[in-house]
Structure 1
Amino acid sequence: MRLTQRQVILALYLMLIIGSILSLIYQLILPHVYDTSLFIGSIAVIPILGGLFLAYWHGHEWSRYAMLILITLLSGMLIDENYLYEHFSLTAFMPPVLALIVAGPAWLIGTTTSLIVILLIRAGGQGIYTDPITMLIYTMVVVGMFMARIVMDNAQQRAEQSAQEANAALASTRIHAEELAQKAQELEAQNAQQRQLIELVSTLETPAVLLAEGVILAPIIGHLDSRRARDLTKRLLREVSGHNAKMVIIDIAGVPTVDTSVAQAIVRTIQAIRLLGCDVTITGISASVAATMTHLGINLNGVRTARTPQEVMQIA
């Protein structure tokens, strides 16, 4: 179970109030232990402690220091005279213990010093509190409390600093994660745009135009590599199937050179289209391209050719 300092201080208030009430009842029940000053002090301190308790309950931090001053004064003034000269009173430990809990090291030293001064004044500078051994032991205990409070405060400061560093690291991690998420979204948007551009370029590189009912024209411009040939084949197969075409005209007037790989790509495209029951005609074969194909031994036997797409349409 973890208790906060506020909860502990409230519990101390209740303990002091209950202790004062029990002391009052004890003196009333047992007249032989009755002490007038202690009895009056108990009657006076109960409402004062109650008021300080309510003040602290409502958030007034000054009340805990007022309580500490009150207990120090009462401890010094109400200790029986027998404990001024011959015996050491354990009540002398109450102010430093309370200061250790509700205040800090400075208050611990202050309340202890104030209590000893009050007791020495009452004893006229004599008594048990002038005994070196007694005061040495008392001082050692108080110094031990002082050191314990310093260690506790340092540990609390380190814990708070670690918590702040952890929160800062967590905030930095969240910011970094948000930045990464934003960059990922931007990258995804860029990839989507790039895919659209690639699709657009592919469409422009492998156009297919419906010339007439059942006739598709596929003009090829530029070098026909394996990727373009594959895209051209896919597009023509899709167009032939979608339009139920009976003829495809592949115009290569825009192809500057035709080598073995280009010719093989065209042949494979023609063969794929023919599997759908569609005729294929190649147009636009220039004199230089024809000479190159002849020199390379490229054979287009079985493939119909024409000079222009218009010529094919006239024949058809």
Structure 2
Amino acid sequence: MASHSDVHALPGFVAMDALSVLRGGRRGASVQITDGYLAGQRTVLEAVDPPISTDDRSAICRESRRICEDIHIDIDTLTEGNLREASVRFRRLLQRLPEVSYLERHYPETCFVVPEWVRTPGEVRYGARVYFFADDAPDPESVMDENIRAVTDESPESFERYQGSLHGYPECCIDFYAGATRSPETDPESQSIAPLEERVRDDRLERGSPLSWSFDEVLRGFFDDPQSYAFFAHEFYPEPGCETARRRGVEIYETLAGALPEPLVRDYFRFNFGWSYLMAKAVRDGADETPEPGRFGREHALLYLPLRIVLELY
């Protein structure tokens, strides 16, 4: 069975997502290659005293950011053919990113990058997502085609459902997220974290540096609520009170605890909830930025370090 050494070079939270795939807990996992993801790793690597240099991670992230900033995709008219042609060109560029090469090199099974398109009023935004699979992996072209059809048909929920199945999420949670009516009062992100929201010490997050506080101080009695186990994946928004998600989370918790120190597994679940909590606030505030490392406490920053460094710290 896979061990932490199979993913020890990946960023901590990515490694633990990927390890749950390798150990059979989920079909797949993924991570967006955003400016925040790349800049965040450099920030944490350089903030550790003394600064950590592992496989020159800082240089890899810095060069990847530089290349991403130079990528500009223009589409004359939004047709399926034009978007597919742009996707092929875009993917060739993304495959040259040092970060993508690094992730592919340090993951033992199927790993690939694809463009990700999101249609918003007046524009189509684009980004990159790296997927991790063990068995039952789709081919990259299938993922791109599903995304392209959802954009040209103006049916984002169809791609959200497809992505949910790729990640092995419970069907009920996929239905909850993809079928939600989106407004400041009903967005699925806020609904998902609502049952556990009162456990967050917002006064700690808003007073001084978030790095001053640990998860224990920011989240009061998180694991006293059984639904804490529903946050078993990064960027996952479980249906409130979902028993299926809770049971799946318990299984993944036990699977990861068989390969990693249990305090680290606990922090991984708290990291996932913290990310979802901060993203829910961003959605309500109309912000586009993803949470910066450490915004939810010290461990939120530590899990951006390579897993083997995280294990030394734990």
TM-score, scaled to structure 1 = 0.24
* Structure with the larger helix share: 1
Higher relative contact order by CA 8 Å / sep ≥ 6: 1 or 2?
2
Which of these two proteins has the greater Rg computed from alpha carbons?
1
TM-score, scaled to structure 2 = 0.24
